[in-house]
Amino acid sequence: MRKILFFFGLTLFIFAVSLPQADAAQKKRQLAKSAKSTIVAKSSKSSRFSKSSISAKRKVSKTFVATKHKTVSHATAAPLKPSFGQMAGLHGATDSLDLKSSVALVIDQETNEVLFSKNEQAVLPIASLTKLMTGLVLREAKLPMDQMITISQADVDTEKGSKSRLGVGTELTRGELLHLALMSSENRAAHALARSYPGGLSIFVGLMNAKALSIGMSDTQYVEPTGLSSKNQSSARDLAKLVNIAHSDPILRELTTSPDYQVAVGNRTLQFNNTNRLVKNPSWDIGLQKTGYISEAGRCLVMQTKIAGRKLIMVFLDSAGKLSRIADAERVRRWVESRSAGRSTSVPLASAAGEKIIHFQ
């Protein structure tokens, strides 16, 4: 009996002890389950937040890109300022060679016969063709070419805001400045040459106009020595006369047709190139040339050249494209060569506007 009671009591004791442990285990399982649910919930929430964030970022990114593209698509380049020739309707004139220059003139230098003409009487801005007269006046003054001239603030372009590698304070000889002005159309060089002339800039410009009148350039006027001003104007007929006179000076011939030139500026050596690519073309025989460009004048070119045994003077004004004046010169050359085959050089080829004679003086 005692054993039975002992066994029963021991069972009750074990049950009493194991019950709290089971309770604790149950609670522990419940807590673990609850914690797991919380973690899953948080993870799900975090995932939803992350996806939402990524979506929002993508949306912002797309909006930014779209806005950027929209801005770019609405950005338009400022329209080019029309040239005087365009405003006058000169580009509407047609010719048999389909030239892109609104004004053209080709003359036999030895016979003075007009071979081709197009709007040759139009008076237009001539841009840096001006520098040919600047060089002619300077050469006739016979000033010392080795005299040093300093680029000053007065030589900085305030007309068009053009740039230059000749900084204020640069010292070069008169000969070097003349070379750069005629070959690479250096504006500060041309202005410094005129400014440093005895009597100053106004005297020099007066001499330019006087020289123009003396050689029969009745349609021409100059207000400054670079060509940056659209008030420097002339006609193709007048410019042909200028080319003819300038070609008689061997220095002007040499400097205008020089392919490139180097000058020492401080501790640096600067290389300048000719603005007319044809001078480096072996198929061309060019005795004198000058290019010019401002928006009011378009692209301009004058040349003395030899084609098919004939010495010719070519003038192209107000050409619309960057390379079109060169292309026009090539068209004229091919035309002269094709028409000259099997004919006497004493007979004029043709004229787009009727045969004319221009007398050089």
Q: Which sequence positions are flagged as catalytic?
A: 128, 131, 185
Classify residue 246 by burial, with Cβ atoms within 10 Å: 0-12, 13-18, 19+: buried
Distance CA 185, CA 290 (A): 8
Q: Which residue has the tokens 């964030």?
A: 53
**218 and 193 in contact (C-beta within 8 Å)?**
no
Q: How far apart are CA 233 and CA 132, in angstroms?
A: 13
For residue 41, the SS3 value is helix
Of the candidates 134, 169, 137, the residue with the CA atom closest to the CA atom of residue 154? 169
245-254, Cβ contacts within 8 angstroms, sequence gap of 24 or more: 245/136, 245/215, 245/360, 246/132, 246/135, 246/136, 246/288, 247/109, 247/287, 247/288, 247/304, 249/136, 249/139, 251/139, 252/132, 252/135, 252/136, 252/139, 252/182, 252/288, 253/287, 253/288
* Alpha-carbon span 184 to 263, nearest angstrom: 12
Which DSSP category does 154 fall into?
G
Q: Are 181 and 189 contacting, i.e. CB atoms less than 8 angstroms apart?
A: yes
Structure tokens at 178: 């003349």
Burial of 37 (0-12, 13-18, 19+ CB in 10 A): exposed
Q: How far apart are CA 33 and CA 36, in angstroms?
A: 5
